[in-house]
């Protein structure tokens, strides 16, 4: 017979091979999308970890050797990361500040990176306790 295969001939038809290649291409595309997303998430996590490292360093060394003062400061860690630190006296909501020699200050730190038009950021907040400070003659001064 013309066009029929003998029983001894085995294998895949061209249509089956094309279908298998198409299925592999679709699976490979999906796998590459997952791998790309994984790389993006890893880079994002690394950037946030580095921002946290810079923040910890700044918060650990802020106002060491100088009196703590309310206000704002800003600067740059390196070419990629920049920061803004806001310091304000802290007291419980609705409560009058205590008349004690120790005072709490709230430090709010924003670490920014990426393009200035669309920066990425991480926010850090901590409290810092200050005691009475002395002027050059040893007399006590109220914290500023």
Over the stretch 87-113, which tens digit does the pLDDT of each residue have? 999 877 766 666 777 888 999 999 999
Q: Where are the alpha helices (DSSP H) in the chain?
A: 14-61
Q: Say which residue, 3 or 122, is predicted with more confidence.
A: 122
Closest CA to 130 of 65, 55, 61, 67: 67
102 token code pair? 């120790």
pLDDT at 20 over 70: yes
- Write out the residue range of the structural domain in which residue 94 sits: 14-134
Instruction: Report how far residue 120's alpha carbon sits from residue 98's, in angstroms, rounded to the nearest whole number.
Output: 38
Q: What is the mean pLDDT of the chain?
A: 85
User: How many domains does the chain fold into?
Assistant: 1
Q: How many CB atoms lie within 10 A of CB 91?
A: 13
pLDDT at 4 over 50: yes
Residue 22 C-alpha from the chain's centroid: 40
In a domain, 27, yes or no: yes
Average pLDDT over residues 33-42: 92
User: Model-level pTM?
Assistant: 0.67
């Amino acid at each position: 017979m013309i066009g029929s295969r003998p029983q001894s001939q085995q294998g895949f038809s061209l249509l089956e091979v094309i279908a298998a290649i198409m299925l592999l291409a679709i699976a490979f595309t999906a796998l590459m999308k997952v791998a790309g997303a994984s790389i993006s998430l890893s880079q994002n996590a690394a950037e946030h970890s580095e921002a946290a490292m810079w923040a910890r360093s700044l918060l650990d060394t802020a106002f060491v050797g100088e009196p703590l003062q309310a206000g704002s400061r800003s600067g740059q860690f390196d070419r990629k990361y920049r920061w803004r630190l806001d310091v304000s006296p802290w007291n419980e909501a609705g409560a009058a500040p205590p008349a004690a020699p120790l005072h709490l200050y709230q430090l709010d730190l924003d670490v920014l990176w990426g393009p200035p038009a669309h920066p990425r950021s991480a926010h850090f907040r901590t409290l810092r306790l200050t005691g009475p400070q002395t002027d050059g003659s040893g007399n006590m001064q109220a914290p500023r």
